[in-house]
Structure 1
Amino acid sequence: MKILSLGEKIKLRRKELNLTLKNLAGDRITAGQISLVESGKSNPSMDLLEYLAFALNITVEYLMETEETQAEKICLYHENIAEAKILNDELEEAEKNIENSLHYAQKYNLDMRKAKDLYLKGLIYSKKKEYGNAQQNFLSANSIFIKNNSNEEVINTFLLLGKITLRLKAYHSAYSYFQQAEKVFEDSNLGDDFLIGQIYYYIGCTYFKLGIIDKSIEYSFMAQEKFRNIDNKKIYAESLLALAKEYCEKGDISNAINYSEKTLKIYKEMNNSFYVSEIENDLGKLFSDFENVEQSFIHLYKAKEIREKTNDSKIIETLCNICENYIKLKDEIKAKETLNEILQHIEKGEEKSLCDYYLLKYRVELLEGKLEEAENTLIQTLNYVKKVNFLKESAEISIMLGKFYIDNGRDNEAAKYLNEGIKVLRELKILDK
């Protein structure tokens, strides 16, 4: 892709059509006039531009397009490719496209394009778990977004900064970022239920981590309400689409476009099934932590439904959470039914999922009072995680086995497995020596 001056566009198109300066000039103008325009020594009048556009079979708009506008389009192209590559985990290719975009953004002082490139770099660093670099790029991007009043971008960046600090257990910083996202949303009147639902959800999570349970519950319910609204949007979108068609029939193109764009936006929001299922699943876990199992089931079964429809492998995670709830309720039958579902979804090579399955199976067997089977399941799981070299899990399961033997008065075996587990945790530097 190359950025062309007005003269270069005319010359390139003339050459494509095998026209000499004289051919192009015809009887209307002189070859010298065109030569001056092509060399950039003269600016053409509007009449001359219209003549050249007609003679070269191109649009006046194309000829008048500035170098900055061309650079903006090139940046957008590379950004779109970079985003697609990031989604596909092709991070090296994504970085190349971002660098290409940044080159033009800096050369032509395209502030918003530079901000988007920094934002995308932040996403790549996040994927690589290089959180310090990710934060730095997100903060740099957001300073530009704020300056340009790009409210949706500001909110999304605050959300990402909050998620990083939440992951790093800097809960007060995370709360600050999520609170800023909430304030910008309220001030900007965006009316995006999915976006504010995410903000409420993460504020609820942060309050939970800070031990402010009442507030955590309040925000979790607020998030729930917003996600419930998304379910009603299909009817709303259909009514907007009908309006768009009516305006089109009347010849009111402006309103037809306006309502069709609104319809598209809602359908795009509704299509965020991956993110909706993530948050429904996490809300389910959160309500389970509040001991509100009824609400937890509502969200977990919603996540299960979405993940089944989209063939999302994370359905195993949701089923494990559902099984945990049934164990809490001491519902042996439902817990075993869910265990069978988990096993049906586990494919070859999913070692972690298989480990989770066996640990849940152990707990269900304990619930049923089948101590011998529970012991065998735990020993089988321990041997399996050792085989696949899951060191942390092998330590945790050794300690679980030790506690099982303590509860059943088998002190020698208990000591053996407890010591084994503690030794591995120390080797992993999870426990001090």
Structure 2
Amino acid sequence: MEILSPGKKIKILRKKLGLRQDQLTDERITRSLISMIENGKRRLNRKTATIIAIKLNGFYKNLGQEITPEYLLESEEQQASNIVDENMDSLKPILKNKKEADQQHVFESFERMIELANQWELQEKEAEIFIIRGKYYFDKGEYNLTLADYFNSLEYYIAARKVEYIAILYIRISKCYIKMSLFEQAAFYGDKAYLLADSTKLPNSNEIKAKSLFNKIVCYGKTAKFDLTLQEIEKFKNLKYANDSLHDEVTLIEAETFFYLKNYEKAKKIYERLLHRESKIDIDTLIRIFENASMLYNKIGEPSNARGALKKAVSYKEQIEEQRVGIFLLNIAHSYYKINDFDGAIHLLDEIMLISKEKNLSEILLTDAYILSSEIYKARQSFLQAEEYLLKSEYYLEKNNCRSKLNVVYSLLGELYCDMGNINASKVYFQKIRNNQRA
């Protein structure tokens, strides 16, 4: 779509009908004025635009078209902004359907929009594009690119003093650092968002505070700063912010914290309080509750309740998105392994293998399933089966050149051959580790 000045629009519309400049004149506007407007030597005002639109419509009405003064007056910057908006609207359904998105098309669309916004100095529009593209990169797990876009956007909003956008970006940056396991930076930006919301009168102040506190709670929990975790949880509870999903997440972290502090009785009460709301809890949070409750029950000597919690988790399999079923089953299998229920773990791992034959599961996911299977068979002293699964893992990892994970498998094979008394084979794999580290 071509971007036209008001004068060029008038000229194109006039020539389309084969009209002369003097055919648009009357006692109020001269041919000289129309010529200067068309050549960009005079600015078009609303009064003149209205007169020219009426004149043009005298001819265009026969074509079933209407020329409005607003169309003639629309600036090149506004046209550029509208083009960006139209491109963004067409991109939104593609971004929403992440599975089917043509990555190259998405990338090129963003580049075109940024180039257009930059060309016409649409700084606010460019900042909006950076936020949306940052979210796109975040969903793809490309966190460095996410941060680059968020910080580019932040630069504009700080200069424009748009506090609400600054606070929201601080929260998003904090969330990104959490995904990168950079918890100190994440807590820093979470704190900046909270302080900004606390010191300004924003309409969504409590929402910003709640989300920033949640990010800080996650950071302190991940770094075992349990006193700070509980302190921030109390601040969160005292906020008047109604979001059941976020409250459930915070309550789950509270239960985990008491578990790590070995206050099992308090942790159990919190888990049971959460499970009392089972039907109202987000599915992903609910699965984590079942997994963590299982570990607690196992720790306090209630193995039947531990297995029961994991069975409940598995019962929600049909509600998991198809592309995530493999990961879901593998996570539950790991939970069974942690409570020493090897039969439960093997049953789910067998199901993963079956699914992989019917649908193309990620080879990396399949490799993780093989590694867990080998751990279980090794624990059962079934060394040959453990070896079989580790060799399958080695094949897939070498095929995909996953060096970091290859060292894990090489190490497991080296230890397994030691247990089997095959020292020469063990030496081969320890040498492979050294070679891999040098590569």
Band the TM-score falls in, shorter-chain normalisation: 0.5 to 0.7
Instruction: Determine if contact 1:53/1:60 at 8 Å carries over to the other structure.
Output: yes
Correspondences of 1:219-238 after superposition (within 5 Å) = 226=243, 228=245
Q: Which secondary structure does the structure 1 equivalent of 2:437 belong to?
A: coil
Which residue in 2 is equivalent to 1:353?
Answer: 365
Tell me, yes or no, if structure 1 residue 426 matches structure 2 residue 434.
yes
Displacement of 1:420 after TM fit? 4.1
331, 339, 345: which one aligns with 1:321: 331
Which residue in 2 is equivalent to 1:100?
Answer: 112
180, 204, 219: which one aligns with 1:190: 204
Flag the 1:6–1:403 CA change in 2: closer, same or farther, 3 A. same
Q: Which secondary structure does the structure 2 equivalent of 1:2 belong to?
A: coil
158, 162, 165: which one aligns with 1:146: 158
Amino acid at match of 1:228: S
Which residue in 1 is equivalent to 2:261?
Answer: none
CA-atom RMSD, angstroms? 4.8
Tell me, yes or no, if structure 1 residue 70 matches structure 2 residue 70.
no
Alignment partners' CA distance in 1, 2:231 and 2:428: 43
Displacement of 1:404 after TM fit? 5.3
Flag the 1:281–1:337 CA change in 2: closer, same or farther, 3 A. same
Flag the 1:134–1:295 CA change in 2: closer, same or farther, 3 A. farther
- Map Cα deviations across residues 243-299 of structure 1 (whole Å, 9 max, x no partner): xxxxxxxxxxxxxxxxxxxxxxxxxxxxxxxxx77x648956995798588999989
Task: For structure 2, list consecutive stretches of 5 or more residues without a partner in the other structure.
Answer: 58-65, 249-281, 299-304
Instruction: Determine if contact 2:138/2:146 at 8 Å carries over to the other structure.
Output: yes
Which residue in 2 is equivalent to 1:51?
Answer: 51
Tell me, yes or no, if structure 1 residue 61 matches structure 2 residue 103.
no
Which residue in 2 is equivalent to 1:400?
Answer: 412
Point out the more displaced range, 284-293 or 148-157.
Answer: 284-293
Correspondences of 1:271-290 after superposition (within 5 Å) = 280=285, 287=292
Task: For structure 1, list consecutive stretches of 5 or more residues without a partner in the other structure.
Answer: 232-275
- Map Cα deviations across residues 122-180 of structure 1 (whole Å, 9 max, x no partner): 56887998866654443232121233354564355334533554455433112212333
Q: Which secondary structure does the structure 1 equivalent of 2:333 belong to?
A: helix
Scaled by the length of structure 2, the TM-score of the pair is: 0.65
Alignment partners' CA distance in 2, 1:399 and 1:26: 90
Flag the 1:392–1:47 CA change in 2: closer, same or farther, 3 A. closer
Instruction: Determine if contact 1:121/1:137 at 8 Å carries over to the other structure.
Output: yes
Alignment partners' CA distance in 2, 1:321 and 1:383: 22
Alignment partners' CA distance in 2, 1:131 and 1:123: 10
Scaled by the length of structure 1, the TM-score of the pair is: 0.66
Flag the 1:72–1:355 CA change in 2: closer, same or farther, 3 A. same
Displacement of 1:211 after TM fit? 2.0
Flag the 1:300–1:142 CA change in 2: closer, same or farther, 3 A. farther
331, 335, 339: which one aligns with 2:349: 339
Correspondences of 1:260-275 after superposition (within 5 Å) = none
Instruction: Determine if contact 2:291/2:310 at 8 Å carries over to the other structure.
Output: no
Q: Which secondary structure does the structure 2 equivalent of 1:58 belong to?
A: coil
Give the length in aligned residue pairs.
375
Displacement of 1:226 after TM fit? 3.7
- Map Cα deviations across residues 30-79 of structure 1 (whole Å, 9 max, x no partner): 54443343234445564442232233322222222222222222333455
